[in-house]
Amino acid sequence: MIDLGVIAACTRGAAITINSRGEIAGGFGGCGPDPDDRTFNRGFLWQKGKPIVDVNTLITPASEIWVDEISFINDTGMMVGSGILPDGSSRAVLLVPTHPGR
């Protein structure tokens, strides 16, 4: 078992999925003072030898959907999760890496 840690803004995290390359994804919580703020939860990605990252920082161009959790990662790095729009409505999200398999 490995403590993956959390990013500075968050107080807790849960690893939810792992692929055959050992990439781990899940969600952070407690990322702000207001649980009603859509950025209170954040999806994350951890890769061996790299710092854990908020997946929202990897999305370019930036999206209006805030990814709050990753529920699955496949062996090419594609991720499925949930996101929140500015109006508070939820959406399913699919994140596709620009360099799959790296």
Residue 17's nearest CA partner among 4, 7, 8, 29 is 4
Residue 70's nearest CA partner among 47, 37, 87, 88 is 47
pLDDT recorded at residue 1: 79
Mean pLDDT per 10-residue run, the chain (102 residues)? 89 96 97 92 95 94 95 97 96 89 54
Distance from C-alpha of 35 to C-alpha of 49, rounded to nearest angstrom:
32
pLDDT recorded at residue 102: 53
pTM comes to 0.90
* Environment class of 61 (CB within 10 Å of its CB; exposed 0-12, middle 13-18, buried 19+): exposed
pLDDT recorded at residue 95: 96
pLDDT recorded at residue 67: 98
pLDDT recorded at residue 99: 74
